[in-house]
Structure 1
């Protein structure tokens, strides 16, 4: 291992220990710094510090660090030329809309403190594919980065859906959503959600098949779908649902909107509009 890789490995080991031992007071996150500019860092590292670490206390790990990932999966490292384009789009379409609607401190306090980038997808034994995952609201891993092209709108939306999904988990794990959300479609949750097609999910009152996995997944799938698809895309989905399915989805939508306003003082529909404009601009 050369000096640069030793530096990075040690750096993220320290970051991991810091995450594990940090207090629960979110205000303390404002003073946490995970990366320091060093004469041995490259242009990508310096870009990450300038755009993520200095303003938002977020570290981005793109070099191969085995302990950051599952050891029983076959994974491919990320191509370095993909790092800045991917993270530029993430900043434009996730961070900046939230900053515009909720302020910079909101992101400093609530954003995950580390992104880990992986070139390939991660496959499960049941045949499903993992596109992203979060750990305790502190680390988000993004897969399939090597296929990124900003003009491939469906693929970009899929990646952004993952990011907004995982961030929504962080929000509700910090401040719980109302319990009555779980009572809207209690009998519809199933461990075999992947056997559900879109149309059946909509008719049952679920915005995606994966929303059937649990009430938590249902809640964050509503958030991520409404933000990434925008008003028109979301309404197009509802137009394909049965009358009963549409009514159930409207109930869930109302709880999501109220949760954002009452818990985070965020106008969800305005956030939806801002996010939609950002996605259009970033994928030209």
Structure 2
């Protein structure tokens, strides 16, 4: 199946799946020491690969063992199968590192500065005690958690899109933390349209668009709105993004939805946010989102 078709299908996931797409942000995390109690460095082939490709270049430690210590004790998750760790690490290079290196006006120096110090790979989602799951966590610019690694399979474009949409969302928070996106001005575009705490799960794609946001989760807070639109720009074919979120519907044709006008007003707000985010990334962060998007989509094919 063509990547564009897969992306388009993912845009219309049922609410039952969308509810699962939450993310957590911790504000006071301190990085875990790489080696505790003077333990010798592993000579395992996989560990050496991760050291050479991530720690030595980007100062990033990838954790895949003893993962319980990296999640809240009130929550649970399972570790990844060892055989999926290296392919996923290779995907991180192709679908995250290489696109940013090409899109940044600093080349690879950008990620050498801002890449998270730790990536935790979990085999499952994080199971919360309220019967929901968490698919990604960004911890104060220090750690990003990747979940559902055990669902990885070569050529599984759906898994790749879902996983890296989450990772790009979480990295958007890290960008925000370092470059101080003007969230107050962004908030004013949809000022009265954000949902009350916890109620975003009652939204669907259409109601989110009417509110001027690209996903139900984006309605939960301006910071999540920013991260969601940035992740969607990066991981969505531009023609699909345009038709789904920006191009106004013709309300005069037979069969146009009764709320066509509301949908178009919401799309106009999304276009405003799209322009703001693209400009911010280009002028303040030094990242061309269009180059980043094209490189990402090309590399996952």
Smaller-chain TM-score range? 0.7 to 0.9
TM-score (norm 2): 0.78
Is 1:184 the equivalent of 2:189? yes
Q: How is 1:112-151 mapped onto 2 (pairs within 5 angstroms)?
A: 112-151=116-155
TM-score (norm 1): 0.83
Match of 1:49 in 2: 51
User: Does the 8 Å contact 2:42/2:48 carry over to 1?
Assistant: no
Match of 1:159 in 2: 163
Quick one: higher RCO (CA 8 Å, sep 6+), 1 or 2? 2
Match of 2:64 in 1: 62
Match of 2:25 in 1: none
- Residue among 285, 288, 295 paired with 1:264: 285
**Distance of 1:99 and 1:87 partners within structure 2:** 16
**Distance of 1:120 and 1:65 partners within structure 2:** 11
User: Does the 8 Å contact 1:184/1:252 carry over to 2?
Assistant: yes
| Structure number with higher helix proportion | 1
Structure 1 39/187 Cα, relative in aligned 2: closer, same or farther at 3 Å? closer
SS in 2 for 1:186: coil
Structure 1 40/74 Cα, relative in aligned 2: closer, same or farther at 3 Å? closer
Q: How is 1:96-107 mapped onto 2 (pairs within 5 angstroms)?
A: 96-102=98-104, 103-107=107-111
**Distance of 2:42 and 2:158 partners within structure 1:** 37
User: Does the 8 Å contact 2:102/2:291 carry over to 1?
Assistant: no
- Cα displacement (A) at 1:232: 2.2
Cα-to-partner distance string for 1:90-139 (whole Å, 9 max, x where unaligned): 11011111011211110011111100111111133444321110111100
User: Does the 8 Å contact 1:182/1:215 carry over to 2?
Assistant: yes
Q: After TM superposition, what 4+ stretches of structure 1 lie above 4 angstroms from structure 2?
A: none
SS in 1 for 2:237: helix
SS in 1 for 2:176: helix
- Residue among 195, 210, 222 paired with 2:202: 195
User: How many residue pairs end up in the alignment?
Assistant: 252
Match of 2:115 in 1: 111
**Distance of 1:66 and 1:171 partners within structure 2:** 27
Structure 2, unaligned stretches of length 5 or more?
Answer: 1-29, 250-262
- Cα displacement (A) at 1:39: 6.8
Structure 1 65/131 Cα, relative in aligned 2: closer, same or farther at 3 Å? closer
**Distance of 1:258 and 1:39 partners within structure 2:** 44
SS in 2 for 1:77: coil
SS in 1 for 2:144: strand
